[in-house]
Structure 1
Amino acid sequence: MSSALAQAKPDFATGSGFWKAVGIPPRGPELHAVLKQGIPYATYGKLASAAGLDRKELAKYVVIPIATLQRRAKQGQFKLEESDRLYRFAEVLKAATDLFEGDQHQARKWLLSPVQGLGGARPAEMVATSAGTEAVLDLIGRLEHGVFA
């Protein structure tokens, strides 16, 4: 990889680099305000790119119908519930990237593959609910600490 390309690629190994690259505050009052107001549509493309997914594929995982996605593009932002699902996807993507020590390819592969620790579900498909997201993040935490059961 050329040094110019390496410099252009955001550093997802650090928390602030990831969150800045996708355009979502990681925590606190600023995050709550953005979610309530609605994540800007431009963030959607950044998140899809960070995940290595096309926009339609990301829409499937965050349960946003294509027609709704087109309306949000015109409106310029997502509604609260959609913003929450986008944040949950970003949170899981960041945790998976951390699990694989910054290796985005491995993180994406893991997110899109059936995982035994999730009953054979794909982690990316579980972010549609807060309970599913919690299960994925819990599993990632256990894997990081070497607890497999």
Structure 2
Amino acid sequence: MKTDIWVTVNLPTPGTELHDVIRRRMPFPSFRFLAEMLCIDEDLLGKRMGISSELLSNATTVGFFPLWESRRLYGLIVALQASCELFEGDVQAAGAFLRSPLRCFNSKAPLEMLITEEGASAVIDLIGRLEHGIPT
């Protein structure tokens, strides 16, 4: 079963339209959907993603995240989509994987690695290696 995270969080699939959404700023409801899918409290998800409580509170009020946080959330969605594909559509298993500390990330969870573009790249690379049976 294929799970389309983009549809679930009410965003267009990657392409020009999504690029425009991120440039305009990621809508707060998409963050809320992500927290639900990951079975994690919104405040904890914000903390894990490096989003301060002040920025999270502001996004709740205005309905959008600033550009930098929007880019972090984009990385999270890409990682969650890839993780769902790795776990054959099992969103709960994908979420558990992203929340679990891993030795290859010095006991950090993949979710915590998504704070930077380099970390997000490392998470996507790891998922790709696991998907193809390449030892990590």
- 1:83 match: 70
After TM superposition, the runs of 4+ consecutive aligned structure 1 residues lying more than 2 A away are 116-121
| Alignment partners' CA distance in 1, 2:20 and 2:26 | 9
Superposition TM-score, scaled by structure 1 size: 0.84
User: Is the CA contact 2:37–2:95 (under 8 Å) kept in the aligned structure 1?
Assistant: no
Preserved contact between residue 37 and residue 92 of structure 2 (Cα < 8 Å): no
State how far apart, in whole Å, the 1-side matches of 2:14 and 2:42 are: 25
- Per chain length, whose mean CA-contact separation is higher, i.e. which structure has more relative contact order (CA < 8 Å, sep 6+)? 2
Query: What residue in structure 2 maps to residue 123 of structure 1?
Result: 110
Counterpart in the other structure of 1:113: 100
The answer to whether the 8 Å contact 2:43/2:53 transfers is yes
Query: Are 1:101 and 2:70 counterparts?
Result: no
**Partners of 2:6 and 2:62 in 1: CA distance:** 23
RMSD over aligned Cα atoms: 1.5
Q: Match for 1:144 among 123, 127, 131?
A: 131
User: Between Structure 1 and Structure 2, whose CA radius of gyration is higher?
Assistant: 1
CA distance in 1, matches of 2:33, 2:101: 25
Structure 2: segments with no counterpart, 5+ residues: none
Q: Is the CA contact 1:22–1:43 (under 8 Å) kept in the aligned structure 2? A: yes
How many percent identity over aligned positions?
Answer: 38
